[in-house]
Structure formats: C-alpha cells, structure tokens
Amino acid sequence: MGGLPAGAIERTEHDYALWEKRVDALMMLLSSKDRRLLSVDELRRNIESLGADAYDKMTYYERWIYAITQTLIQRGVITVDELGRKIKVVRDREEQRG
C-alpha cells in the first residue's frame, strides 16, 4: 500500500458494526456544506501522523474516529476536558447496561 510491501488484499465484504456506521455518519454530518467543521484533508493529516505502528494496529474506523476527534479538538469545537468527561459518562452508562 502506498508503494510499501503488503500482504494479500482482503476482497470479501463484511458487515459494519453499529459504532462503525455512527463514525461514518459523524464524518458526513461534520463535513457537510452547512457545517464544514472538518475537511477530508485534516482527517488524512491526522491519520497519517499516527505513526506506522499505531496505524497498523488500529482498524479502519478506529483510525477515522481518532482523526475526527483530533480535528475537533484542534479546531476548538470540543475540548479535551469535555471529551474525557463524556467518555466517562458513556462508559458508566454502558457498564450499567451490562
């Protein structure tokens, strides 16, 4: 990929998890013409700055949500503090649900 040695290409289709569909929806909503809260180029920059090791370990949509989050912090749409608190709320909610 990108001129680097790579293994066989996985050609089979697979179902998307609910969270993956949500990441895709988030991206569409944030980049839409009436919001323009991020650009594809910003997402690419954040993904490309992951470093090879992290890039390989993360799945496709993990890389996208990482890049979306970084972009929103860089633009001041959300703060690190807000993110940390919200993650705690969601985690607690999911744990209660079991």
Partner 1 sequence: MNSAARSKSSGTAKSNVADAVAPRFHVGDRVTVRAAYPIGHVRTPSYVRGKHGVIERLCGTYPNPEELAYARPGLPKLPLYRVRFLQRDVWPDYTGQPADVVEVEIYQHWLETEGQAR
Residue 60 or 92: which CB sits closer to partner 1?
60
Footprint of partner 1 on 59-98 (CB under 8 A): 71, 74-75
Which x/- pattern over 22-41 shows residues binding partner 1 (rule: CB under 8 A)? -----------------xxx
Structure tokens at 79: 């703060």
Sign of the four-CA dihedral 94, 95, 97, 98: positive
Residue 56 or 94: which CB sits closer to partner 1?
56
